[in-house]
Amino acid sequence: MNINWFEIIAQIVNFFILLFILKKLFYKPVIKAMKDREERIDNIREEATKKREEADELIQQYKQNKKERWSY
């Protein structure tokens, strides 16, 4: 069984070239897409929290109005 060292070294070099290309072409766009998605999710959560607070205030106003009407 002969080991062809040239092929092994060539495969290692090709692997590192592939890693370099993937990092340059795909790593940054994927990270940017993940950050954009995270920001959209955070915005949706903040909006949902604000709407929940507004709904709670409206419920309290409704209960207060109902209590005032039925207290006569």
Residue 72 lies in a domain: yes
CA distances from 5 to 8, 9, 19, 43 (A): 5, 6, 21, 55
- pTM above threshold 0.75: no
44: left (phi over 0), alpha (psi -120 to 50) or beta: alpha
Q: What is the pLDDT of residues 5-36, one digit of tens each?
A: 999 999 999 999 999 999 889 888 889 999 99
Residue 16 lies in a domain: no
Total count of domains within the chain: 1
What is the dihedral sign for C-alpha 27, 33, 36, 42? Answer: negative
Residue 64 structural domain: 29-72
Rounded CA separation 22/31 (Å): 13
| Structure confidence at residue 37 as a pLDDT band (50, 70, 90) | very high
Residue 18 lies in a domain: no
Rounded CA separation 22/12 (Å): 15
Rounded CA separation 27/18 (Å): 12
